[in-house]
Chains A and B, each alone.
Chain A
């Protein structure tokens, strides 16, 4: 009853791909942002899986830092979203296109 490491990696890649897909297809800014979180979670799983394979705790540490970064990004990102909402009254990314060409 064992699980090969590649299974974990496949799951991680799947999560990452879901994140990218979400970023490309969703319209709500907040959902876009959540897609990025999904991507980061996918990456985290890779780290842990590799750490297990390599028998080193470095991967765990990395995940720890990724979480801190994700938290920081979340704080800033949501603040930016609020600022945009205040000037635009919309959360649809397709309407945030004042700057172009």
Chain B
């Protein structure tokens, strides 16, 4: 029985992204060596918009359900993460339009890689078969490895790519071993079947425990939670800024989706304390590490570890499914919005060869470019968690979920950490508004692409803070239909 047309609708966003990616790839060699690739970027952005449209189309109730021989499943959960990933890809494309020529890496492959990488991330959120999850994970990872090394003449960038690649493959091997053992222990590679076996059979094969542990290791690496966070600062510091915006949010969100489906949602045995410890470690290491950083990208890398920790808090409270999972989903969206925004500003500021990525370079930005400074301030305030930003609401939701599942200590540690975090974000704000500028050189004018990327993130962050209801409802719909319960 061949796949029906409904099946194709269920992978419509992926199809659109893949076709657009290939089109960009084919167009690239046709353009002359000195032609600007901006057109390709705009074309790629168009593809993202179309994919977004396809996702919205796919969200109709008629298309919900399993597709392609139970390989994937379209539900609230997958649609939500599709939207996050595609919007991040769109913003990244937009902010790269001027970044690439400025760094003399104006290649069409860049856009193709983002689009094709997004295919993998989208599939990660909808796949319910370990085979497909694994391949999607690899697509997203390999695309990220290449993008991290895209400034291939820079020693930092290639080093970042190499570290990411070697450690990433190392972690993938762990993940894969876990998958193999899970397959052996449960006799299936289908997530729902595995969940059934783990939940109903009287005797769980001990191999399953090792399997879950190894899978957690692999995914923990992808989401950068302690103790598997260690690669993050190095890789983020070396990679091109727009790429960091991309890979600190989209693959992470997708990996969180997999983690929810695979570890939390299958009610894998004994995950609770592992998540608890990982949450505490990530928050503490991230925040403590960030305090003394002088490079803003590195600082945000540590901060992203901390934010992975806050997300883990949401996971830990997933014993109340509706609360925990929807809090985690909301948080990943809010984090994506604010982090992409911050990196959009940073990539605009970076200058050629990313010279200006020290926090000191932001001194006096409040006067050199009030609009940029205001935008960055807003994103940083959101990362701190000040009300009316998405960051506040996300944190609020996560911690109230944690408290409602009686995780009092975790809540306390989290709140203390978020207080500690405010210190280093604030340092940047202080630098921008209250210090003398280091140079008098004017900040390059904000072009349309970066401007749009910032605007999208700004609107998303504000929207999630002021009007979170629509998103909240959507996320709350997800856990009830997840795992078919």
Contacts and interface: CB of A to CB of B under 8 A. Distances in A.
Q: Do chains A and B touch in the complex (CB under 8 A)?
A: yes
B181 interface: yes
Interface residues of B, number: 40
A10 interface: no
A84 B158 contact: yes
Contact of B238 (A33, A43, A69, A99): A99
B281 to A, nearest CB: 19
Contact of A39 (B134, B158, B177): B177
B286 to A, nearest CB: 15
B183 A62 contact: yes
A50 B176 CA distance: 14
A40 B176 contact: yes
B173 A98 contact: no
B308 interface: no
Contacts of B159: 84, 88, 96-99
A99 B168 CA distance: 17
Contacts of B130: 62
Given A80-B149, A83-B149, A96 B163 contact: yes
Contacts of B274: none
Question: Among A40, A61, A77, A88, which residue has the most Cβ atoms of chain B within 10 A?
Answer: A77
A65 B180 contact: no
A65 B166 contact: no
Contacts of B145: 76, 80
Contact of B162 (A16, A58, A80): A80
Contacts of A9: 184
A100 B234 contact: yes
B161 A99 contact: no
Interface string B229-247: 0000111011000000000
A16 B177 contact: yes
Contact of A59 (B142, B183, B234): B183
A58 to B, nearest CB: 6
25 contacts: A16-B173, A23-B166, A32-B166, A36-B170, A43-B180, A47-B180, A50-B184, A62-B130, A62-B131, A69-B134, A73-B138, A76-B145, A80-B149, A80-B158, A84-B158, A86-B152, A88-B158, A96-B159, A96-B163, A97-B159, A98-B155, A98-B159, A98-B238, A99-B234, A99-B235
Contact of B155 (A39, A65, A72, A88): A88
B189 to A, nearest CB: 6
A40 B134 contact: no
Contact of A96 (B135, B138, B146, B162): B162
A39 B203 CA distance: 29
Contacts of B142: 72-73, 76
B160 interface: yes
A55 B153 CA distance: 51
A69 B162 CA distance: 17
Interface string B124-167: 00000011001100100010011001001111101111110110
A83 B166 contact: no
Contacts of B369: none
Given A80-B165, A99-B159, A99-B234, 12 more contacts: A33-B166, A47-B183, A58-B188, A61-B131, A62-B189, A66-B134, A80-B149, A87-B158, A93-B166, A97-B159, A99-B160, A99-B237
Contact of B173 (A19, A80, A84, A86): A19
A99 B160 CA distance: 8
Nearest to B138: A69
